[in-house]
Amino acid sequence: MSKDLASLTLGRRPEGRTLVTASWVVGHKDGSHRLLQNGEVVFENGEILFVGHRFAGEVARRIDFGNALISPGLIDLDALSDLDTTILGIDNHPGWTKGRVWPRSYVDAGPYEMYSQNELAFQKRFAFGQLLLNGITTAAPIASLFYREWGETIGEFDAAADAAGELGLRVYLSPAYRSGGMVLESPGQIVPIFDEERGFQGLNDAIAYIERQHGRHGDLVRGMLAPDRVETSTLDLLQRTDAAARDLGVKFRLHMAQGAMEVDTVRMLHGSTAPAWLAKAGLLSDRLIAPHATNATEEDLALYAQNGVSIVHCPLVSGRGGSTLNSFSACRKRGINIAMGTDTAPADMLMNLLVGLITCRINDGAPHQVRSADLYDAATLGGARALGRADLGHLSPGARADIAVFDLDDTVMAPSIDPITTLVTGGSGKVTRAVFVDGRVSMVNRQVAGIDMEKARVQAQAQYDGLIAKYPERSWNSPPVSEIFSPSYPIEVDTHG
């Protein structure tokens, strides 16, 4: 019987029973997590057989991770799946001057794909590797449509399904579609334009994709419908989406109550907030997963609670943009299910849990309404509940063997106290030591199955630089890149030689 990590082969399911142990294991009992000191987890063929102390049966290997936390893998329902462009705007405002709203000139010239199909496929594979490096085992990807001709494509999502299978990441996929977009008619004047047929075509493509891909790669790939943003969807498109989700037995994700431009646009078009508009049409249900709720009214939140809508909370991207879910603890008290999402770079769920803890306490004006464990619950149990997956988000016999191992003695870590508090306050996925998805070894010691992340990083940067060079074409009056994204300080270059 081998005892060490070397007995594991990246990208493979170990033969026979594997027992993993560490100073702490997150077990589960009566619907809630438990902390098992020096606990053990045994799994075989992708399924967890045992969680507890002193497993009595035979095992093929025993791996001791030492001072670490063996945790259910993290669930990311707004998972960054491209080379993030929102970070370009962090210190550059307003967005409409920085390539984040299509100017009329770009629309008239004919929007085009700013990446090739190969580049689109590559960035998803690279992003999936980043998610695994951060202990994320289930992902519902999100990417920007600003640099797209219109919606996402079947080709890139076929490639994404294969990448998920090869790297070993559980995914909920289908190409995003929309029936409209926002256009900048003049400085500061942003209006919606619609092409409803294109939205219907996108939905039909997504349905066909799900019918073809759902259950592939040993059931790692499942479907989820993803209309892009409520303000650019027509009622007919959303009704057809909800009906298709019901027929397919999948969820659909729709960004809403997330920004001032959306709130204003939906009010102008439909006379209410987006959640109230959908409620009137009978489209709020537990099929709906709704990032980010940062601009939700009391009425919106009450409607979410009544209808079983799940929120996806992405505190890093929201906080950096100056908004928050107000508040995480208040939404929990209302009985709203909250899942977590990374949404932006870095795709670090633990960082998001820390920011979520901080922003909730600022909103509450007090520290006692939310605990680190509440955020951790959202990233595990909350995500699983949103997906309707009783077999994910916890380590229990019969659950899928989706496991993340986090070091508790990393040299950059805060002093190790309660393991959940330590992880959340540490705020960094860099302490992720190993990841198993469906019992398969997807990441060990920063090595990801199916991709050389060091090499891929070089390719990703070159591709990203190429995209940035195209920004003037979709920025108002086409200023040079140096003007769109001004440097933090004046740049001095070497003029010698």
Which range, of 101-109, 264-272, 287-295, 331-339, touches Zn ion by CB under 5 A? Answer: 287-295
Nearer to Zn ion, 229 or 394 (CB): 229
The span from the CA of 112 to the CA of 482, in Å, is: 23
Nearer to Zn ion, 141 or 291 (CB): 291
Residues 197, 202, 205, 206: is their CA dihedral positive or negative?
A: negative
Give least dist CB 344 to Zn ion, A. 8
Give least dist CB 292 to Zn ion, A. 6
The answer to whether the CB of 466 falls within 8 A of the CB of 85 is no
Nearer to Zn ion, 23 or 342 (CB): 342
In 132-226 the beta strands, taken as DSSP E runs, fall at 136-142, 170-173, 180-186, 189-194, 221-223
Structure tokens at 389: 């997956």
Q: How many residues bind Zn ion (CB under 5 A)?
A: 3
Q: By CB under 5 A, name the one of 78, 82, 242, 374 that touches Zn ion.
A: 78
Nearer to Zn ion, 69 or 79 (CB): 79
Nearer to Zn ion, 81 or 372 (CB): 81
Show Cβ contacts of residue 388 under 8 Å, excluding neighbours closer than 6 positions.
251, 286
* Nearest partner of 218 among 453, 377, 13, judged by Cα: 13
Instruction: Lay out the site mask for Zn ion across 183-222 (x = CB under 5 A, - = otherwise).
Output: ----------------------------------------
Q: Does 291 bind Zn ion (CB under 5 A)?
A: yes
Which range, of 133-141, 209-217, 236-244, 339-347, touches Zn ion by CB under 5 A? Answer: 339-347
The span from the CA of 371 to the CA of 389, in Å, is: 24
Give least dist CB 79 to Zn ion, A. 10
The span from the CA of 15 to the CA of 20, in Å, is: 14
Q: 379: which DSSP letter?
A: I
Nearer to Zn ion, 152 or 343 (CB): 343
The span from the CA of 341 to the CA of 354, in Å, is: 13
The answer to whether the CB of 405 falls within 8 A of the CB of 429 is no
Show Cβ contacts of residue 241 under 8 Å, excluding neighbours closer than 6 positions.
203, 225, 227, 233, 252, 254
Which range, of 22-30, 101-109, 335-343, 375-383, touches Zn ion by CB under 5 A? Answer: 335-343
Nearer to Zn ion, 262 or 343 (CB): 343
Q: How far is CA 156 from CA 77, 197, 198, 356, 458, in A?
A: 19, 22, 18, 32, 21
Nearer to Zn ion, 255 or 332 (CB): 255
Q: By CB under 5 A, name the one of 152, 156, 343, 377 that touches Zn ion.
A: 343
Nearer to Zn ion, 41 or 75 (CB): 75
Give least dist CB 494 to Zn ion, A. 41
CA 56, distance to chain mean position in Å, is: 38
Which range, of 115-123, 158-166, 291-299, 433-441, touches Zn ion by CB under 5 A? Answer: 291-299
Nearer to Zn ion, 343 or 348 (CB): 343
Q: Does 95 bind Zn ion (CB under 5 A)?
A: no
Q: 210: which DSSP letter?
A: H
Instruction: Lay out the site mask for Zn ion across 133-172 (x = CB under 5 A, - = otherwise).
Output: ----------------------------------------
CA 338, distance to chain mean position in Å, is: 13
Which range, of 148-156, 261-269, 283-291, 302-310, touches Zn ion by CB under 5 A? Answer: 283-291
Give least dist CB 197 to Zn ion, A. 26
Dihedral of CA atoms 374, 355, 37, 434 in degrees, nearest 10, equals: 120
Nearer to Zn ion, 62 or 292 (CB): 292
**Other CB atoms closer than 10 Å to residue 373's CB: what's the count?**
15
Show Cβ contacts of residue 378 under 8 Å, excluding neighbours closer than 6 positions.
313, 328, 338, 339, 340, 353, 356
Give least dist CB 198 to Zn ion, A. 22
Q: Does 262 bind Zn ion (CB under 5 A)?
A: no
Give least dist CB 78 to Zn ion, A. 4
Which range, of 64-72, 78-86, 93-101, 127-135, touches Zn ion by CB under 5 A? Answer: 78-86
Query: Interface with Zn ion by CB under 5 A: which residues?
Result: 78, 291, 343
